[in-house]
Amino acid sequence: MHAYRVVEIRPDLSRTLHVGQHDGGEQGSGERLSRLLEALHCENVVVVVSRWYGGVKLGSNRWKMISMVAKGAIQRGASVKEKAPDTQISHSPRSRKKER
């Protein structure tokens, strides 16, 4: 299951918000993740939650768990972004081994 909110900034500086989600087999979960991104005012974020079908059955608690895991990931991502230096990183081409 996943959801995203991405802002496209055009040359004239107008902004378009692109949003989307997919349930991944857990009906309603994509919409739930999308609402979470909106509530947290996220931009340029994709959140993906993977669920393993087996083991302990979650029942209706699965909704709480999906939201909790997604919110934790978003918060951890935000704290990493805040700690990152505000500089551009240039990537130099790496030498690659020739494939035989």
The per-residue pLDDT for range 40-95, each reduced to its tens digit, is 999 999 999 998 777 778 888 889 999 999 999 999 988 776 665 554 444 444 44
Residue 99 lies in a domain: no
Residue 98 lies in a domain: no
Residue 92 lies in a domain: no
Residue 4's DSSP bridge partners are 20, 46
Report the domain count for the chain: 1
Residue 67 lies in a domain: yes
Domain span at residue 32?
2-81
Residue 9 has pLDDT above 70, yes or no: yes
Residue 87 lies in a domain: no
Residue 6 lies in a domain: yes
Residue 47 lies in a domain: yes
Whether the Cβ atoms of residue 34 and residue 17 lie closer than 8 Å to each other:
no
Question: What is the pTM (predicted TM-score) of this model?
Answer: 0.73
Confidence label for 99 from pLDDT (cuts 50, 70 and 90)? very low
Cβ-based neighbours of 94, under 8 Å, separated by 6 or more: none
Residue 89 lies in a domain: no
